[in-house]
Amino acid sequence: MFQWGKNKKTMELEIRSPIPGAVIELNQVPDPAFAGGHMGKGVAIEPTEGSVYAPFDGKVAHIMDKSKHAVIIEHKSGIQVLIHVGIETVSLKGNGFTPHVKNGTKVNKGQLLLEFDIATIQAAGLSAISPVIVPDGLESVDHVEIHDNQKGKGSDEPIMTVHLKS
């Protein structure tokens, strides 16, 4: 939902979990770039099913063509969210991933974007933990609020709210 913030000075965008599963803190991700917040602010999902859904209405800004392991969704406000399935999964070269969208595709909240096989990821000795990040460097973003009370909730719960500069 895109709405005015409580102080009426900023706009807010609620980000729903794009992957069903337990929400964990970013610092628990077994990758120093994500865990250290170097990619941006966000959370990670310990997936219970191999599906990625659009967390809001927008468009596919980028999906990794060869590896198919990550997708960036862009809201009409310019906010982008990176959904990175698993850790080091680029090494699978697309094996176990089935995209359902292409670059530039307009998507609706809840639309299936990508399917992945958790067993294939784990059989390769990789983690299926999936970071969901608001990338650093988006000038319209004032701050990202992480909803700590959403750990372990289903995929329809907001996991973070992005506050835009006025």
Give the single-character DSSP code of 159: E
Contact between 56 and 16 under an 8 Å Cβ cutoff? The reply is: yes
Among residues 15, 13, 17, the alpha carbon closest in space to that of 130 is found at 17
Catalytic residue among 62, 84, 100, 163: 84
75 in active site:
no
145 DSSP β-pair partners: 161
- Which residues does 149 contact at the CB level (< 8 Å), separation at least 6? none
Tell me the catalytic residues. 84
